[in-house]
Structure 1
Amino acid sequence: MLVNQDSIVSCWADGGGLTPLHRAAFITNVNFVNLRVIKKILKCCPESAMEVDKNSGKTILHFLINRVYSYQQGKQLMQIPQIGPLKDVKDLQENTPSDLAQKSNFKMAQLLSVYPLQHLTFNN
């Protein structure tokens, strides 16, 4: 995998303004495979979590809100240390991931409302 070779590559935006982390959000719905990819990218380049899409101002969490279809997947996503703090970052339309979740994804809205998740139990 490219991120194993040079971690700086995992922070570069492409011509469309998206980083590999943003692209990982578009692979499919949140599942075991793309959570592993997201974790790997963030391990190599944790600062990439703060990168925003140049066209929309969206973070990785903005992009993932509507791709989480189960509470369990949402918990796994929110346990990635760099993801939770993004819940209140505004995009160019002044929407936070929390705002988007309230409008369209009740499971994620529940999780974001109780972040940080230290008091939630997690069973594999």
Structure 2
Amino acid sequence: MRRLSTLFATDFASAVGDLGLRQVLFGILSIVGGNPGINQGEVGKALGIQRANMVSLVNELVDRELLDRRVAAEDRRAFELRLTAAGERCVDEAIGRIRQHEDKLLSDLSPPERAKLIQLLSRIGASGG
């Protein structure tokens, strides 16, 4: 599994690397894109990113003008995140490339085999193992 993880990570990096995205940055952008106005802490929890690390990652995305960070109206100690127009374009481009990356890596699997693989990996992920 470690070798396959490395293979996927390496191919992912080649697919979206020129966009300046690492897996963790894409994960943040994806969650924010699907949940506009989400609290920065909630994004970190969803991805298992510690608070201190989350701050620097969000700073990186804000500096690149891919994310907009605002003080939350209901909790002045928290920050709400939204994709900027550039962030939306970046995510859209990355998703297209990631689909191609996944199609290439999974090309030897039939659609039912792909579905089964996703089901099995989801079970492993849900078990925390």
Query: What range describes the TM-score normalised by the shorter chain of this pair?
Result: 0.3 to 0.5
| Structure with the bigger percentage of strand | 2
Higher RCO (C-alpha under 8 Å, 6+ residues apart): 2
| Structure with the bigger percentage of helix | 2
State the TM-score, normalized to the length of structure 1.
0.33
